[in-house]
């Protein structure tokens, strides 16, 4: 299976992209892909879409697919180190998010994403008639995946929330952007766990809420539709197991060079095909012998009135080993003392932050994930 534009022909006038007031039909897009410069016969074997605006970046990606070459889609500010020419099988040259350090370079075949598109379409319910909101830069792989899936399907992508019927976003962005999407019918959350209160609020708006779990190395691993499933469910061709509490995955959707069982780095539980992810193992905080998962603390804190966003990290302690510290963004409706009182009323003592820091804005990666390295 190859990456093509939604089965569209050169005469198709359906809208493919609405971006910064500019509209491209599928006919426009197809023509631009055909006209994109070919790589020279000798020398560099990869196009570079990293610094291009979104429409041109996607034209470059589809052109690379047609030409059988590779394409770089990386953050121009913090590119991963690449010392060798890409593998002959490589199509996408991407990177990990860099949430815990410098991004790691990855190579993908086209099939490693495209082969999952039919099942992803089935799970999400996104249709060719949808307009999909892209909420972040393409060098964050969840946004690139969302854009390529939509154009493969024949849908439209946009940066205008008022026109969008579907959206892909991390939870922090999703909670905000849905207020500006009057036509929303599908919301896809990824990159971090969505707290139950937010999930219920979104579902109550008659929006189909889909959560999926994956990684840059493994792509899609598991997904669930809120209201239909209580737990994430592994995709049909994905296998998983738990070793010493950590999740390992084997998948046909993995990046090049990732073979056999791959340790994702998350603490998790597995019951048959149902997956419960607790969070990053490197974000586990050992409080006097009790393991506190940072993401669990963050989910609780973000449900408190007055908290717009929150992060939890471990702080060294002479007796307990570590204690929990909270870094929060407040929305201005309540002061920190009231927030702390609410936290004391509902949180276990081991998980309750002992140190609180208020910041105007949490450090985040381009994809919207909390940048834990910067927090530390």
Q: Among residues 189, 242, 254, 168, which one has the least CA distance to residue 215?
A: 254
Q: Is the pLDDT of residue 290 over 90?
A: no
User: 0.85 cut: is pTM over it?
Assistant: no
Q: What is the pLDDT, as a whole number, of residue 28?
A: 95
**Of the candidates 314, 308, 317, 318, the residue with the CA atom closest to the CA atom of residue 362:** 308
Do 15-212 and 288-375 have matching folds? Answer: no
Residue with tokens 């892209």: 134
Q: Quick one: tokens of 318?
A: 């002479």
Write down the pLDDT at residue 186: 97
Q: How are beta strands 274-280 and 232-234 bridged, if at all? A: antiparallel
Residue 91 CA to residue 88 CA, distance in Å, equals 8
Q: Note the pLDDT tens digit of each residue in 355-365.
A: 999 999 998 87
Query: Has residue 306 got a pLDDT over 90?
Result: yes
Element (H, E) at 346: helix 336-346
What residue has token string 């534009």?
Answer: 5
Of 192 and 173, the structure prediction assigns the larger pLDDT to 173
Q: How confident is the model at residue 9 (pLDDT cuts 50, 70, 90)?
A: very low
For residue 103, what pLDDT is reported? Answer: 77
For the domain 288-375, what is the CATH superfamily, name and number?
ANL, C-terminal domain (3.30.300.30)
On average, the pLDDT of the chain sits at 89
* pLDDT for the residue 158: 98
State residue 220's pLDDT score. 96
The DSSP 8-state label assigned to residue 370 in this structure reads: B
| Nearest CA among 100, 68, 66 for reference residue 376 | 100
Reported as a pLDDT band with limits 50, 70 and 90, residue 243 is: very high
Q: What is the mean pLDDT of residues 62-74?
A: 93
> What pLDDT band is residue 175 in, cutting at 50, 70 and 90?
confident
Output the pLDDT for position 102: 66
Tokens of 319: 């007796």
- Considering only residues 280 and 358, tell me which one the structure prediction assigns the higher pLDDT: 358
Q: pLDDT of 207-241, one tens digit each?
A: 999 999 998 899 999 999 998 888 999 999 999 99
Q: Which of 53-57, 74-78, 301-305 has the lowest mean pLDDT?
A: 74-78
Q: What is the pLDDT of residue 1?
A: 61
Alpha helices in 138-179 (DSSP H): 141-153, 171-177
Other C-beta atoms within 10 Å of 96: how many? 19
Residue 171: closest CA among 20, 9, 8, 301: 301
Q: Checking DSSP bridges between strand 156-158 and strand 15-19, what pairing results, if any?
A: parallel
The pLDDT of residue 79: 82
54 close to 19: Cβ distance less than 8 angstroms: yes
The answer to whether the CB of 235 falls within 8 A of the CB of 220 is yes
Topology annotation, domain 15-212: Rossmann fold (3.40.50)
Task: Decide if pLDDT at 50 tops 70.
Answer: yes
- State residue 59's pLDDT score: 97
Distances, alpha carbon 15 to alpha carbons 20, 29, 68, 156, 358, in Å: 14, 9, 26, 6, 44
- For the chain, the domains span 15-212, 288-375
Return the axis-axis angle of helices 54-67 and 26-35, rounded to nearest 10°. Answer: 60
């Amino acid at each position: 299976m190859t990456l093509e534009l939604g089965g569209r022909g050169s005469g198709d006038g359906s809208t493919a992209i609405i971006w910064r007031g500019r509209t491209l039909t599928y006919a426009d897009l197809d023509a631009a892909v055909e006209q994109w410069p070919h790589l020279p016969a000798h020398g560099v074997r990869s196009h570079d879409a990293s610094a291009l605006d979104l429409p041109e970046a996607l034209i470059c990606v589809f052109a690379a697919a047609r030409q059988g070459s590779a394409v770089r889609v990386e953050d121009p500010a913090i590119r991963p180190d690449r010392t060798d020419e890409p593998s002959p099988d490589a199509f996408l040259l991407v990177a990990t998010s860099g949430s815990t350090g410098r991004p790691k370079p990855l190579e993908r075949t086209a099939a490693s994403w495209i082969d999952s598109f039919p099942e992803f379409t089935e799970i999400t319910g996104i249709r060719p008639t949808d307009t999909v909101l892209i909420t972040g830069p393409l060098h964050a792989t969840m946004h690139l995946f969302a854009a390529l899936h939509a154009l493969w399907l024949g849908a439209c992508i946009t940066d205008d929330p008022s026109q969008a019927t579907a959206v892909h976003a991390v939870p922090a962005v999703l909670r905000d952007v849905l207020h500006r999407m009057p036509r929303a019918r599908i919301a896809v959350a990824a990159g971090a766990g969505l707290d139950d209160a937010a999930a219920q609020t979104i579902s109550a708006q008659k929006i189909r809420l889909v959560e999926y779990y994956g990684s840059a190395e493994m792509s899609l691993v598991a997904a669930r539709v809120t209201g239909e499933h209580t737990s994430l469910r592994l995709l049909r061709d994905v296998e998983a197991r738990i070793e010493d509490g950590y999740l390992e995955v084997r998948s046909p959707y993995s990046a090049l060079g990732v073979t056999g069982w791959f340790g994702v780095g998350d603490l998790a539980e597995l019951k048959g095909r149902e997956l419960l992810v607790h969070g990053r193992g490197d974000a586990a905080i050992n409080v006097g012998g009790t393991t506190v998962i940072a993401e669990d603390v963050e989910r609780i804190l973000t449900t408190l009135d007055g908290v717009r966003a929150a992060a939890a990290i471990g702080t060294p302690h002479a007796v307990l080993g570590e204690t929990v510290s909270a870094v929060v963004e407040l929305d201005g409706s309540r002061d920190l003392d009231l927030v702390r009182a609410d936290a004391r009323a509902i949180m276990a003592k081991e998980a309750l932050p002992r140190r609180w820091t208020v910041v105007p804005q949490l450090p985040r990666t381009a994809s919207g994930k909390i940048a834990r390295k910067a927090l530390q």
